[in-house]
Amino acid sequence: MEFFSVEFFSALLSIIIIDLVLAGDNAIVIGLAARNLPKELQKKTIIWGTVGAIVIRAVATLLVVWLLEIPGLLLGGGLILLWIAYKLLTEEKEHDVKPSQNLWGAIRTIIIADAVMGLDNVLAVAGAAHGDWVLVILGLLISVPIVVWGSTVILKLIERFQWIIFIGAGVLAYTAAKMIVDEPFLSGFFDNSWIKWAVIAVSVVGILGAGYLKKNRTGKAAVTNH
């Protein structure tokens, strides 16, 4: 992928959107893990916890980028990512993280929690990067600091404007569909660009439609129970 091309910037934008939508919950974990520490240690904990999380996230993402070169894994990763996009629209997430009483305990909690919660993020970013390692690093360097220091703002925006989640899920579904149609052993089937774009369009519209219907049904059920 050429630097500073339209394709490069569209992929970078996709990675940043994915990071912001999927990593907001990880930012809450950072706050929860550090909340019982003295004020002077909280900032240090957040910085070092974030550095550790970025390093592990970058290594994991680059590993997945490499793994996606194996035949069949693009298809598998794309299907998993479609499911993640659907779950993003329909699932309420809980944050049950015990605060740590010391600096290193809090840093360890942040890194472990981020590694566990960040699996969907890693797969999505690897798929959006199309094998370009520079995009992975750039995306992380731009979006992770925004998530960490702007997490409260991001989460309030998502709560207030539900369509932000739909944009994120749409980008995820698009990334997933692109992974599927770019699968090498399916290349004969997707030689026709009309079929290729039809599959991408159906995937995005299908996931957003299914997520919207499920969310509506859940909301109505909750109102009925009350």
Residues with Cβ within 8 Å of residue 124, at least 6 apart in sequence = 18, 22, 81, 84, 172, 175
**What pLDDT does residue 199 have?**
93
Which residues of the chain are under the pLDDT cut of 50? none
Return the CA Rg of the chain.
19
**What pLDDT does residue 202 have?**
96
Tokens of 72: 């069949």
Tokens of 175: 């990334």
Give helix then strand counts, H and E, for the chain.
Answer: 9, 0
Q: What angle do CA 84, 190, 133 make, to 5 degrees?
A: 55
Tokens of 169: 């899920």
Distance CA 211, CA 108 (A): 35
**What pLDDT does residue 32 have?**
65
Q: What angle do CA 73, 75, 76 make, to 5 degrees?
A: 60
DSSP result, 58-103: HHHHHHHHHHTTSTTHHHHHHHHHHHHHHHHHHPPP----PPPSSH
Look at the chain and count its residues: 226
**What pLDDT does residue 205 have?**
96
Only one residue has tokens 């970013």, namely: 125
**What pLDDT does residue 197 have?**
92
**What torsion, rounded to 10 degrees, do the Cα atoms 144, 150, 153, 156 define?**
40
- Residues 131, 68: contact at Cβ < 8 Å? yes
Distance CA 85, CA 124 (A): 10
- Residues 178, 69: contact at Cβ < 8 Å? no
Residues with Cβ within 8 Å of residue 176, at least 6 apart in sequence = 77, 78, 79, 80, 81, 82, 84, 85, 127, 203
pLDDT 10s digits, 154-192: 656 766 787 888 888 888 899 889 889 988 888 788 888
Distance CA 89, CA 214 (A): 8
